Amino acid sequence: MSNLLIPENYHAALDLKQTELAIKQIKDFFLRSFSTELRLRRVTAPLFVLRGLGLNDDLNGTERPVSFPIKDMNESMAEVVHSLAKWKRVTLAEYNVEPGYGIITDMNAIRADEELDNLHSLYVDQWDWERTMTAGQRNVEFLKQMVRRIYGTILRTEFYICETYPQLRPFLPEEIYFIHSEELAQMYPNKSAKEREDLICQKYGAVFIIGIGNKLSNGEPHDNRAPDYDDWSTPNSDGHIGLNGDLLIWYPILNRSIELSSMGIRVDAKALMHQLDIQGKEERKNLYFHKRLLDGTLPLSIGGGIGQSRLCMILLHKAHVGETQSSIWPDEMRTKCREAGMPLI
C-alpha cells in the first residue's frame, strides 16, 4: 500500500462502460497494426509448461512460479509461465518461420511475488512476440529499427483511440530517444536506476534504454535479467555492451516513467554460454531449451512483450492498471482507489 499513488484531482476521462469498450478497441487495433507492421502470425500459447525443460523464464531470478502437480502424468510438475520468451523461440523452429517473419500471441501469467501498486498486478497480460532474424541483423542498429516500428504502432493506436474518444488528448512525443544504460548512469551518477529512468523520460517523453542486465561501471546492472533469453553481454557498434533494452514513456498523470515493453535480440550459442558463466548457472546447458539452442536447432531471433493492460491504462489516461484489468487487490487499496475516483475492475 505504501507504493500506491493517488493523483491530485484525478478524474477518469471515460466511465466504466466506455472503458470496457475502449479496452477492446485498443487491443483489436493494436494487434492488427502491430502484426502487420512486423509481419507476425498469431499462434496459440500455453498458460503453463512442464518444470525442468528450461522453457519458463525466471525473469530477475527471484520470482517463484505458480506450480501444480499433474495427476494424469505421474505427478509431474507444471509451472504457470512468467513469460514466453523461450517457448516462442522453440515455436519459431517448430513452425519453420523464415527470417523477416514472426509470431505473436496473448500471454497470460500469474506472478505471485509482485508488489501490488498502480502498475503491478498478480495478473499479467502481454502481447508476446518473436521474429526470426539473420546473423547480419544481430546489431544495435537493427534493434533500434525494430523499436521505432513498435513505438510507431503505439503512436498510431494513440491517434485512433483519441479520435474515437475526443475527451482523450494525445501526449506521447513523435520520436523515441535512445540511450545506453551506461550513458544514463554517467549522466546521473548519484541516482538510482529508477530515478535515472524518471529523469530521462521526463526530459524526452519516450525513451529506449539499451543494455539491461550487464554490470555497469558502477558495479551494478541497470536491472537484472535472466541469462538465457536476451543478449545483454555482446558488444555493439556503439562501443557499449548489450543488444536488449526497455521501452519507457513519461506518464504525467502519475508523474513518473512507465515501462511498456522489455525486448531484445536473443542470445546465440556463444552469448548463452557466456551469460550462464557470468551468473554461475552453467548447469542449465543440460536443459531441453538450452540443448536445442546450443546444437543449432533454434533460429536466431528478436522478441519481447508489450503489456496489454498497461498500454490500455496509459492510452485511456487511467491512474491504476486495475482500471483496465480484472485482478485481486487488497481491500484497503480498492477502498482508497474508489474514494479517489479510480474504481478497480
Interval 51-73 mean pLDDT: 79
Would you say residue 218 lies in a domain? no
pLDDT given for residue 99 in this prediction? 97
Domain hosting residue 120, numbered range: 16-171+264-339
Tell me if 204 is assigned to some domain: no
- pLDDT tens, 11-42? 999 999 999 999 999 999 999 999 999 999 99
Strands (E), the chain: 40-42, 48-50, 67-70, 76-80, 102-110, 123-132, 177-180, 206-210, 244-251, 256-265, 301-307
Instruction: Round to whole Å and give the CA distance between 298 and 141.
Output: 23
Helix-strand-coil percent breakdown of the chain, rounded to 5? 35, 20, 40
Q: Which one-letter amino acid corresponds to residue 323?
A: E
Residue 2 maps to a domain? no
The count of structural domains within the chain is: 1
Per residue in 230-250, pLDDT (tens digit) is 999 999 888 899 999 999 999
pLDDT at 60: 57
Residue 271 falls within a domain, yes or no?
A: yes
Whether 43 is in a domain gets the answer: yes
Residue 115 reports pLDDT greater than 80:
yes
Q: Has residue 111 got a pLDDT over 90?
A: no
Global pTM reads 0.94
Known catalytic residues? 57, 111, 126, 246, 259, 262
Query: In this structure, is residue 45 part of a structural domain?
Result: yes
CATH value at residue 138: 3.30.930.10
